[in-house]
Structure 1
Amino acid sequence: MIQESDNFQIENEIRWENVGEGISRQILAYNEDIMMVKVKFETGVESTLHAHPHTQVTYVVSGIFEFTTNGETRIVRSGDGVYMKSGVLHGCKCIEAGLLIDTFSPIREDFIK
């Protein structure tokens, strides 16, 4: 069965999911090959270092984050991006509340319920 989103994603028509203390996400466009997700972080929240088989690209819409990927740690801000290779440990700490756009390839089937 092919999994894919509607053609248009209207922000106020898509529910936000609480995925942990201070972190929520909104699933946007996807098919079996790619997925785009908005993620909101509150100040001080940290995601644990983790790895998954998906390639991930993150765009910082707002806020300030300390990202670690592949053993390198950098501060990123609005307009910056982060590339995370498949299978590489990565995570972030939110220094100033913000919004990220995460894109995964292939789809994160664990995000679809």
Structure 2
Amino acid sequence: MPTLEAPFQLDNNRQPWTPVADGLRRQILAYGPDMMLVRVAFEQGGIGARHQHVHTQITYVESGVFTATVGDDTRVMRAGDVFYAASNVWHSVECLEAGTLLDTFSPMREDFIE
């Protein structure tokens, strides 16, 4: 797991994966007190349940196809697409074709650190 003191984390493929729910798992890539980068792998049909949190979030679709809802706006997203969820805005995703999301949180998600 990357530490707060590490300025570089070059071999993220060696970071452990944590099962989150049926059809999805996450991998913490790097973090500091003000920011965190997390990779989330989805199997087709996997759901990132509707939720909200105090962290601002930017999500980049690395691969796959997803239906994403942020607030009242729902869109189909493909590789290269991005969404922004402001603090305390409800959001969710459903995986239509297996893929990976990169989630950035500010501040870091302390609840993700074991």
Same fold (TM over 0.5): yes
| Matching residue's letter, 1:53 | V
Counterpart CA distance in 1 for 2:28 and 2:104 is 10
- Aligned CA distance change for structure 1 residues 68 and 102 (closer, same or farther; 3 Å): same
TM score, norm. by length of structure 1:
0.93
**Aligned residue pair count:** 111
**Superposed structure 1 runs of 4+ greater than 4 Å apart:** none
Residue of structure 2 equivalent to 1:75: 76
Alpha-carbon distance change, 63 to 5 in structure 1, aligned in 2, over 3 angstroms: farther
Within a 5 Å distance, the mapping from 1:1-113 to structure 2 comes to 4=4, 6=6, 7-113=8-114
Listed as ranges, the gaps of 5+ residues in structure 2 are none
How much identity, in percent, do the aligned residues show? Answer: 48
Q: Is the 8 A contact 1:35 1:106 kept in 2?
A: yes
Give the TM-score of the pair, scaled to structure 2. Answer: 0.93
Residues 34-43 or 8-17, more deviating? 8-17
Q: Secondary structure at the match of 2:47?
A: coil
Residue 10 of structure 1: how far off its partner (Å): 1.0
Gaps of 5+ in 1: none
Please say if residues 24 and 47 of structure 2, whose CA atoms lie closer than 8 Å, have aligned partners that are also in contact. Answer: no
Check the 8 A contact 1:66/1:76 in 2, yes or no. yes
RMSD across aligned positions (CA): 1.2
